[in-house]
Amino acid sequence: MKYEIQATEAKWQDRWEAERVFNVTEDPTRPKFYNVQMYPYPSGALHMGHLRNYSYVDLLTRYKRMRGFNVLSPMGWDSFGLPAENAAIQTGIHPREFTETQIVRMKAQLRRLGAVYDWDRELASHSPEYYRWDQWLFLELYDRGLAYKRNAPVNWCPTDQTVLANEQVVDGRCERCDSVVVKRDLDQWFFKITDYAQRLLDDLDQLDRWPDRVRTMQRNWIGRSEGCTFSMEVAETDLSFDVYTTRPDTVFGMTFAVLAPEHPLVDALIAGTDHESEARAYIAAAGALSEIDRQAEGDKTGVFTGRSAINPVNGRPVPIWIAEYVLMGYGTGAIMAVPGEDQRDWDFATKYGLEIIRTVQPPADFTGEAYIGQGSAINSEFLNGMEMAEAKATIIAWFEERGLGKGTVNFRIRDWLISRQRYWGCPIPMITCPTDGLVPVPRADLPVIHPDVDDYAPGGRSPLAAVESFVNVECPSCGGPATRETDTMDTFVDSSWYFLRYCDASNSEAIFDPAKANYWMPVDQYVGGVEHAVLHLLYARFITKVLADMGMVEVQEPFNALFTQGMLVKDGAKMSKSKGNVVSPEEYYARYGADAIRLFELFIGPPTDDAVWSDNGVEGTARFLDRVWRMATGQVGEIQDRAPNDADREVLADAHRMVQKVTEDIDRFSFNTAVAHLMTFANTLQRALRSGIARETHAESLRLMLLLLSPMSPHLSHELWELLGYGSMLATEAWPGWDAQLVARDVVTMVVQVNGKVRDRIEVDAGIDAETAEATAVASERIREWIDGKEIRTVIARPPSIVNIVVG
RNA sequence: GCCGGAGUGGAGAAACGGCAGACUCGAUGGAUUCAAAAUCCAUUGCCUUCACGGGCGUGUGGGUUCGAAUCCCACCUCCGGCACCA
């Protein structure tokens, strides 16, 4: 009997769906398992790289189900965004039509893989039923002062014609299109994620089932530093400015001060000095540079202002410079320069002939320039002799006593810029009234639906701004003429709460029912790419904390365990459409079926590592599955109607060993070795069949194999399960346990080493004691050859596995 | 520069501090076949030996240990993140 791949796979896909096997509701009597994959952008065609992730998630859904969990595995679509809009610009097809076509295609592809979800909870961020709650969330943040509009220098991508969040700028370039990002001053909406910086940092400690790498990346991104802010007066004026430093202990070593070129005080500072025209030229030149050039580490440039500032600790005047190595966006945009203990200040001082005073004693053998290590304070009056920590505390207290400054904490993270000047996103629900200023759209008027437009092309402002019927509205407050906000939201807003919406996806009265969210949350296993380490994963944590503060959900952290899968690599590059190296599954479905593809995706290597695609790997797993089919249907060897003998009992023991290993390997996410153990047992079973196996042993072996194989290659497993009469729906069976007595071995191979080198292997009783093990080892013929005539210094016995004889 | 992670056969990879290379691909030889496909068997880290066996071997150099791919130190290479953040 031949295995009919296409018909069988279709049959089981139909049955899982028709019998609603994976549709779930809250059930307090069972432990829940909330299994989520980062919802995909509906790009249309899935390639082998994508299928790797779907195979992992589907394995977990099926496995946890069999382990007795109430498993929720939903699916949805991150369906706002640039690709659909760019396609619309090119083809004229409405982004909605384009997107919905792609969603239909992708659903069909997931179904073809045999991936199962609770489709009742399907959501798409472009649907008004979904983005209505984006808008609601925005208004809640606005009411809490967590959403605000401000004019600020922002990152502008000249190609995509929109602003970007800091997190979307990579090495000065747009993460999407790689264009060099420029700064523009624009009125933009921000979410105040900086209010949550400390909590986002602190709670990383409890995420012990996240990869360290991701936690470290978030820590770096949040970038907490402790230091001191104090004020400096400008000599011969009544001006003053604040500086921030993490090294207040070195304040006596300040030999100059530096302002960022954009510092608001600069203009007043240089006005009327001899250096005014030179300084203005410098500022203009700095302003014209791109961010990349600005941030390029190289020769530091700067210009003297002609003014001096007074060092508050000793009244000493120091020259004030303007230099672009000081950034307006961090701290106060002004620094005290201590060249003795800061390499950047050292470089600058050396270049411009400024004084250098060491205030920390370097070790005698120190040969570098600025010294940033530990040491005693010198040249620092009352701080002299103190170590760094003590000196810091002392000087901060000194500042605070006199009201001149205070200990402060700074974060590198900036507020989240969420405005986008693009069409295919969620409209921001705000109205600007000449009388009342910014007025929120009343919640009863949500959703603000974005109208169809003729021209999607970005032109520096949102395409929505061209639609007068959309823009012009009555002010909800005074009824007078007013205008709508025409920017749309960053799509990362959509994705920062979708996992909560899955819990109650069809609720038309609220964003979700807290009771339902509290049943399912937190997500027990979150699966996705590491590229979102500081984007989506940080935003989602932030929004969850906001919703927790609102009392909507109890958890402070949305994702209990995070799994970041490796990429699939082909021809030395990540498999992706843009690289042109994708392998489509269609041909493989036709030849080998979904089960073989899934099994290969699991087997290809450790899930967290990148894996290299190989064309004939699927052939290997297909061969394995075919062998399982033939062994199950009596096409291999001989199944004998007799009582099990010793050989059969050993086969059964191996089957139980397989159950143990596969279970343990799945639990530690070692899917590649789990598959390997199934293959090993298949080899064992095949040998047994060839020499004749008892029917009972054969049946039990197959039963266990099919249970273990079913989360990996579900179609063939289900078909055989039904065919062999074990039941009608394998997916709802319980995961097998193993018999510890059967797994344990009576006789084991003991290795005997002489001086650490293996010299013999002896079959011994598994319960052998150390004394007997040693005696057995020494008595061995082969061992005698190595130890005779030599002095036995010591013998290490670790029965029953090893004995090491050390001879001199 | 700073912070992570990783270097094991021809390839993907295994290996609680205890037999390095499980499992799969590939390759070679063989069985079956009129022939092929499919299937099955055997071999497959390097050197040496007719053979039994022996020697070497997990990026490099040290160290700890009876024993190290695994732990420690230094270095090299690759990958990822951050980077003029005061």
How long is the CA A619 to C1' B44 vector, in angstroms?
A: 21
The nt closest to A794 (CA vs C1′) is: B66
Q: What pLDDT sits at residue A482?
A: 96
Percent of chain A with pLDDT over 90: 69
Give how far Cα A533 sits from Cα of A170, A200, A211, A213, A255, Å: 13, 13, 10, 9, 41
Give per-residue pLDDT as tens, A472-497: 999 999 999 999 999 999 999 999 99
Q: Omega before A363 cis (within 30°)?
A: no
pLDDT, average across residues A641-653: 94
Rounded to whole angstroms, how far apart are CA atoms A213 and A533?
Answer: 9
Identity (one letter) of the amino acid at A758?
Answer: V
DSSP state of A736: P
Mean pLDDT, chain A, as a whole number?
91
Among chain A residues 213 through 252, which have CB within 7 angstroms of nucleic chain B? Answer: 213, 216-217, 220-221, 223, 225, 227, 244-247
The nt closest to A756 (CA vs C1′) is: B67
Buried b / exposed e across A751-775, counting CB within 10 Å, b at 16+?
A: bbbbeeeebbebebbeebeeeebbe
How long is the CA A611 to C1' B60 vector, in angstroms?
A: 27
Cα-trace Rg, chain A: 34
pLDDT, average across residues A402-430: 92
Find and give the residue nearest to B82, measured CA to C1'. Answer: A220
State phi, psi for A317 to the nearest 5 degrees: -75, 135
How long is the CA A680 to C1' B37 vector, in angstroms?
A: 26
A349 has a pLDDT exceeding 70: yes
Q: For tokens 């010198």, what's the residue?
A: A378
DSSP state of A448: -
A167 has a pLDDT exceeding 80: no
How long is the CA A108 to C1' B22 vector, in angstroms?
A: 38
Chain length of chain A: 808
Rounded to whole angstroms, how far apart are CA atoms A185 and A181?
Answer: 13
Rounded to whole angstroms, how far apart are CA atoms A79 and A801?
Answer: 58
Q: For tokens 């390029």, what's the residue?
A: A296
Confidence of residue A772 (pLDDT cuts 50, 70, 90): very high
Percent of chain A with pLDDT over 70: 99
- Nucleic acid strand B within 7 Å of A781 CB: no
How long is the CA A8 to C1' B56 vector, in angstroms?
A: 53
pLDDT, average across residues A6-17: 97
Give per-residue pLDDT as tens, A268-283: 999 989 999 999 999 9
Q: For tokens 């994708």, what's the residue?
A: A582
A336 has a pLDDT exceeding 80: yes
Specify the 3-state DSSP secondary structure of A105: helix
Instruction: Return the ∠ at Cα A428 (arms to A424 and A429), rounded to 5°.
Output: 130
Confidence of residue A786 (pLDDT cuts 50, 70, 90): confident
Q: What pLDDT sits at residue A30?
A: 94
Q: What pLDDT sits at residue A458?
A: 72
Among chain A residues 748 through 767, which have CB within 7 angstroms of nucleic chain B? Answer: 749, 751, 753, 755-759, 761
The nt closest to A803 (CA vs C1′) is: B18
Residue A406's nearest CA partner among A245, A228, A249 is A228
How long is the CA A405 to C1' B81 vector, in angstroms?
A: 35
- Nucleic acid strand B within 7 Å of A21 CB: no
How long is the CA A610 to C1' B74 vector, in angstroms?
A: 29
Q: What pLDDT sits at residue A372?
A: 85
Q: Where are the alpha helices (DSSP H) in A604-738?
A: 617-632, 646-667, 671-690, 695-709, 714-723
Q: What pLDDT sits at residue A205?
A: 87
Give per-residue pLDDT as tens, A354-385: 999 999 998 877 777 888 888 899 999 999 99
Find and give the residue nearest to B26, measured CA to C1'. Answer: A616
Helix axes A212-222, A536-549, angle to 10 degrees: 70
- Least confident residue range of A408-412, A474-478, A567-571, A641-645: A567-571
A648 has a pLDDT exceeding 80: yes
CA dihedral A521, A524, A525, A528 (to 10 degrees): 30
Instruction: Return the ∠ at Cα A278 (arms to A277 and A281), rounded to 5°.
Output: 85
How long is the CA A675 to C1' B9 vector, in angstroms?
A: 21
More confident residue, A367 or A801: A801
Confidence of residue A63 (pLDDT cuts 50, 70, 90): very high
More confident residue, A710 or A297: A710
Q: What pLDDT sits at residue A555?
A: 97
Identity (one letter) of the amino acid at A231?
Answer: S
- Nucleic acid strand B within 7 Å of A770 CB: no
pLDDT, average across residues A207-217: 87
Q: What pLDDT sits at residue A655?
A: 97
pLDDT, average across residues A50-73: 96
- Nucleic acid strand B within 7 Å of A794 CB: yes
How long is the CA A365 to C1' B54 vector, in angstroms?
A: 53
State phi, psi for A358 to the nearest 5 degrees: -80, 135
How long is the CA A635 to C1' B36 vector, in angstroms?
A: 22
- Least confident residue range of A9-23, A59-73, A363-377: A363-377
How long is the CA A623 to C1' B23 vector, in angstroms?
A: 14
The reported pTM is 0.93
- Nucleic acid strand B within 7 Å of A608 CB: no
More confident residue, A567 or A103: A103
Among chain A residues 392 through 421, which have CB within 7 angstroms of nucleic chain B? Answer: 410, 412
Give per-residue pLDDT as tens, A507-562: 999 999 999 999 999 999 999 988 888 889 999 999 999 999 999 999 999 999 99
CB A452 within 8 A of CB A466: no
The nt closest to A293 (CA vs C1′) is: B84
Confidence of residue A256 (pLDDT cuts 50, 70, 90): very high
Nucleotides, chain B, CB distance < 7 Å: 3-5, 11-16, 18-20, 22-26, 38-41, 54-56, 66-68, 80-86
Among chain A residues 78 through 137, which have CB within 7 angstroms of nucleic chain B? Answer: none
- Nucleic acid strand B within 7 Å of A795 CB: no
CA dihedral A608, A610, A611, A613 (to 10 degrees): 140
Among chain A residues 374 through 393, which have CB within 7 angstroms of nucleic chain B? Answer: none
How long is the CA A99 to C1' B30 vector, in angstroms?
A: 57
How long is the CA A168 to C1' B86 vector, in angstroms?
A: 25
- Nucleic acid strand B within 7 Å of A297 CB: yes
Give per-residue pLDDT as tens, A135-152: 999 999 999 999 999 987
Q: What pLDDT sits at residue A455?
A: 81
DSSP state of A441: P
Give how far Cα A747 sits from Cα of A255, A527, A644, A765, Å: 79, 43, 20, 5
Q: For tokens 């503060």, what's the residue?
A: A549
- Nucleic acid strand B within 7 Å of A614 CB: yes
ipTM: 0.94
Identify the H or E element spanning A323. strand A316-323
Terminal CA-CA length for chain A: 65
How long is the CA A589 to C1' B39 vector, in angstroms?
A: 23
Give how far Cα A270 sits from Cα of A321, A328, A352, A723, Å: 10, 18, 19, 89
Specify the 3-state DSSP secondary structure of A366: coil
The tokens for A418 are 């969420």
The nt closest to A677 (CA vs C1′) is: B23
A129 has a pLDDT exceeding 70: yes
Rounded to whole angstroms, how far apart are CA atoms A16 and A402?
Answer: 74
How long is the CA A341 to C1' B75 vector, in angstroms?
A: 29
Among chain A residues 687 through 746, which have CB within 7 angstroms of nucleic chain B? Answer: 687
- Nucleic acid strand B within 7 Å of A626 CB: yes
The nt closest to A609 (CA vs C1′) is: B6
Specify the 3-state DSSP secondary structure of A670: coil
Contacts of A207-216 spanning 24+ positions with Cβ under 8 A: A207/A557, A207/A559, A207/A560, A207/A562, A209/A560, A209/A561, A209/A562, A210/A559, A210/A561, A210/A562, A211/A530, A211/A562, A211/A564, A211/A608, A213/A530, A213/A533, A213/A564, A214/A530, A214/A533, A214/A537, A214/A562, A214/A564
Rounded to whole angstroms, how far apart are CA atoms A500 and A512?
Answer: 7
Q: Tell me the longest C-alpha to C-alpha distance in chain A.
A: 109
Rounded to whole angstroms, how far apart are CA atoms A257 and A255?
Answer: 7
Give how far Cα A153 sits from Cα of A488, A492, A654, A765, Å: 19, 21, 67, 77
Find and give the residue nearest to B80, measured CA to C1'. Answer: A213
Please state whether beta strands A562-564 and A169-170 pair in parallel, antiparallel, or not at all (unpaired): unpaired
How long is the CA A572 to C1' B55 vector, in angstroms?
A: 38
Residue A420's nearest CA partner among A385, A372, A454, A464 is A464
- Nucleic acid strand B within 7 Å of A603 CB: yes
CB A36 within 8 A of CB A502: yes
How long is the CA A626 to C1' B40 vector, in angstroms?
A: 14
Which positions ≥6 away from A277 have C-beta within 8 Å?
A: none
Confidence of residue A599 (pLDDT cuts 50, 70, 90): very high
Confidence of residue A295 (pLDDT cuts 50, 70, 90): low
Residue A543's nearest CA partner among A22, A140, A6, A226 is A140
The nt closest to A617 (CA vs C1′) is: B25
Provide the CB-side half-sphere exposure for A50 (13 A, CA). Answer: 21
How long is the CA A441 to C1' B51 vector, in angstroms?
A: 92
- Least confident residue range of A95-109, A134-148, A161-175, A584-598: A161-175
Among chain A residues 315 through 344, which have CB within 7 angstroms of nucleic chain B? Answer: 324-327, 329-333, 335, 338, 342, 344
- Nucleic acid strand B within 7 Å of A804 CB: yes
